[in-house]
Structures are given as structure tokens and as C-alpha cells.
Amino acid sequence: MKIATEHLLTQLKTDLDRQIKQTQELNSLSYEALNWRERTESWSVLECIEHLKRYNDFYIPEIRTKISTAVAKPNVHFKSGWLGNYFANAMLPKEKLNKMNTFKEMNPLNSHLDSVLLENFEQQLVSLHQLVEEAKHYDLSRIKTSVSISKLIKLRLGDTFRVVVNHQTRHFAQIDNVIKAMPQ
């Protein structure tokens, strides 16, 4: 995939703006609603957010470090790598949300969570938004970041942003399904 860098960054910021707004709207739910789950093995709203927070705990410092050590030299186009493009597209929600397994350390099932998590996650989203804004000064195809599953696998920065934001989009779709399934 080849895309104008400006277009990619604008799309990422638009998606992050929507995710910030969705996170803020979750504050209107009660503690019970935020922790409600449809089945014992499914995640609550807060468990979905905790899962995303755990990934951001890795990716935000990783992206920040790679940008801070890179030479500022933007490129008009971003060319996705085949693996990064695959991961980014795999994260997007399908019409019927396809189930994916997660790593044990990223699985928040039965964690004791409260609404402070929403504030922390919103701050992470703001940080990601700032990093996307800062990235306009760099070549998103040249900077490489490690992925959370292995420091040996590297993705292009543009693909890393796409994976992180698409992963969040996927779990916000899951959150919507949890909210829809709640008893009235």
C-alpha cells in the first residue's frame, strides 16, 4: 500500500479524535455497567480498555524513542511493508467481530478495575495523537519500531501507528457490542 503521508496522518488523527470522544463518553456509565460482562469468559468495557492500555504501555514509549532518535526528514508518501500492512488490516473489525486470541500478559480478564483507568487511557490517546502530529516531520517508511510480541520483528512507523489505532478501533467495536448486550 502506498499513500500520501499527509492523508495517512490525517486519518490516524481523525480516528484518535473519535477514540478520545468514545472514551470520554464511557465516563457516563456506572461502575456496574463498566464492569458488566455478558459471559464469564468475555471482557467488560473496562477490561477492553485495560487490554488497550497494556499495549499502549509498550507502543507509546517505543514510538517516542524511535522518533526522538530519528533524523527529521519527511517523505511525501508512505509505503507500507507487507507484514505491517497485513497486521494493520487484520486488526480492523469485520462486520461480525472475529475472535482473536491474546497473549496471557495482555489478557485483563478478572482484573479489578475502576473508572480511573478511563482517564489514564484517555491520556494515552492524547499522547498517541501528539506522536502522530510529530511524525509529520519524519519518514514513516524509514523509522522502524519493534512490536510487542517480539523485539526482533520490526514494522515501519506508519504501519505501527496503523496497527495500534486499528487495534483500538477493533476493541471499541467490542465495547459497543458489550454495551448493546447490557440488560436495560
Q: What is the C-alpha R_g of the chain?
A: 17
So what's the pLDDT on residue 146? Answer: 96
**Model confidence over 11-26: pLDDT tens digits?**
999 999 999 999 999 9
Q: What's the sign of the alpha-carbon dihedral 88, 92, 98, 99?
A: positive
DSSP 104: G
Residues facing residue 147 across a β-bridge? 150
What pairing do the DSSP bridges indicate for beta strands 77-79 and 2-4?
Answer: antiparallel
For residue 83, what is its C-alpha cell? 507484514
Q: What's the sign of the alpha-carbon dihedral 155, 159, 160, 166?
A: negative
Candidates 3.40.50, 1.20.120, 1.10.760, 1.10.3470; correct CATH number of 2-181?
Answer: 1.20.120
Cα separation of 80 and 40, whole Å?
39
So what's the pLDDT on residue 108? Answer: 76
So what's the pLDDT on residue 96? Answer: 67
Parts of the chain with a pLDDT under 70: 96-101, 103, 107
- Within a 10 A sphere around the Cβ of 99, how many other Cβ atoms? 6
So what's the pLDDT on residue 76? Answer: 97
Pair 154, 164: CB distance under 8 Å: no
Cα separation of 106 and 85, whole Å?
22
So what's the pLDDT on residue 100? Answer: 64
Pair 140, 12: CB distance under 8 Å: no
So what's the pLDDT on residue 135? Answer: 98
